[in-house]
Amino acid sequence: MKILVPVKQIAVVDEDFELRDDGKDVDPDFLNFEANEWDDYSYEAALTIMEASDGVEVVPVTVGPDDAEDVLRRCLAKGGERGIRVWDDALEDANPAVVAQVLAGVAAREKPDMILTGTLSSDRSYAQTGVALAAALGWPHVAVVTGLEWTPGDPKATLLRELEGGLVEKLSVECPAVLTIQLGINTPRYASLRGLKQAKEKPVEELSLDDLGLSGDSLAEQASFRVRRMYKPETGQAELIEGTPAEQAARLAEIIKELKGAA
């Protein structure tokens, strides 16, 4: 019994960034890399299922270059015995339709019983990869899951799906399924020092596109869009209140008083 958990290394831009020479992305020198917040929740959901039943394996997988191994180690420090990283230079700038194909290749190899992904990533916010992966596998899928009841082996899982405005839908889904997990479904654990130490010893399998029977050229044809350029948008800017905290607060109190008086 196996749960596959795709995780992503996301990028955060520095304050004063510059674009790459081709203008299609930020110069990597101005990017800091982190684990995607949503993946903490999907991984925790998988560990929770693992700990409630015997014989469940949780496998984190990422599509990313060498340093993306960090996000796998971070997962393995919390639980799980091995991770998988897929990379090929052809995957640089890959869009979610392509990443979904690669993950489908990993799923074909691993034959998991459930796949839990994040609802979206905080750098690109596509909210596409998980559901596109389900389509590639032909699996049932549900997005934006904030409640999950499933015992490995059950033919169905009972879910909560978070809708707009505080409304929640309770539904069931046939398994195996791909679920995209939303923030708040659980309280993700922190890795212990011992866990972090152990994670360094755990195996991370490195796969190429070849290993998955895929080629960069055919994947490029699967791209669902092409980036023409990136640019810094014109945005509004607040009138900044300067001074010491006391001066700032005094001005703020004044503004609040004016606004309340005028209303």
Partner 1 sequence: MGEILVIAEHRQGQLNPATLEIIAAAVALKEESEHKVTVAVFAQSPDDFAGLVAKAGVDEVVKVPVPVASFQNDTYEAAVLALADARKPAVIMCPHTVDAWGYAPAVAARGQFGCATDVFEMRFEAEGLVAVRAAYAEKLHMEIDFPGKETVLLTVRTNVFKPSEEDGAPAVTSFEAPSAEARTEHLTYVEPEQTGDVDITQAEYMLSIGRGVGEEDNVEEFKELADAFGFTLGCSRPIADNGWLPKSRQVGQSGKTVAKCKVYLALGISGSVQHMAGMKHVPNIIAVNKDAEASIFTIAKYGIVGDMFEIAEELRDQAS
Contacts (CB under 8 A) with partner 1, residues 35-64: none
- Distance in Å, CB of 262 to partner 1, minimum: 9
* Region from 42-50, 78-86, 123-131, 197-205 binding partner 1, contact rule CB under 8 A: 123-131
- Distance in Å, CB of 103 to partner 1, minimum: 12
Gap between the Cα atoms of 263 and 257, Å rounded: 10
111 binds partner 1 (CB under 8 A): no
Among the listed residues 173, 199, 212, 219, the single contact to partner 1 using CB under 8 A: 173
Local structure of 7: helix, strand or coil: coil
Q: Please tell me the count of residues contacting partner 1 according to CB under 8 A.
A: 81
Which residue matches tokens 């004016």? 258
196 binds partner 1 (CB under 8 A): no
CB of 52 or CB of 249, closer to partner 1 = 249
Local structure of 146: helix, strand or coil: strand
- Distance in Å, CB of 203 to partner 1, minimum: 31
193 binds partner 1 (CB under 8 A): no
- Distance in Å, CB of 78 to partner 1, minimum: 19
Q: HEC string of 43-97?
A: HHHHHHHHHHCCCCEEEEEEECCHHHHHHHHHHHCCCCCCEEEECCHHHCCCCHH
Gap between the Cα atoms of 177 and 116, Å rounded: 8
Token couple for 239: 């009138």
